[in-house]
Amino acid sequence: MNSQDNQDNELQRWERELKEREHQIRLREIEAEINQPPLHQTQKHQPPESSVKRWYGKLLSVGKFLAVVVAVVVAFKVAVSLAYVVIVGAVAWVAYKIFLERDRAKR
C-alpha cells in the first residue's frame, strides 16, 4: 500500500506543480497585457486651409458641376435636333415612296 500512496502523492504533487506553472504563465500573460503601451491611431498634423483656398476649391467644384450640366443640356439639344431631322427625313421618304414613286412607275 505504501507504494500506491507514494504514487498518489507523487501524482498530486505533479498536479500541483503543473497548476502552479499554468497559474504563473497566465499571470505573466496578464501582466504583459497590462504593461503593454496603448496603441492610438495617429495622423500627421495638417495646417488649416486658408479661407481663400477653401473658396477656390468650392468654386472649382461648382464650376465642374456647371460644366457637366451645360454639356448635358447641349447634348440633349443636339439629340433632339438630330431626332427631329431623322423623323422629318423618314416622313419625307415615306411620302416620296407613297406618292411620287408610284406616279413614275405608271408613266
Q: pLDDT tens for residues 13-30?
A: 999 999 999 999 999 998
Side chain identity at 35, as an amino acid letter? N
Residue 39 Cα to chain centre, angstroms? 26
| DSSP structure string for 47-91 | PPPPHHHHHHHHHHHHHHHHHHHHHHHHHHHHHHHHHHHHHHHHH
Between CA 100 and CA 107 the distance in angstroms is 11
Between CA 83 and CA 75 the distance in angstroms is 12
Q: pLDDT tens for residues 47-88?
A: 777 877 888 889 999 999 999 999 999 999 999 999 999 999
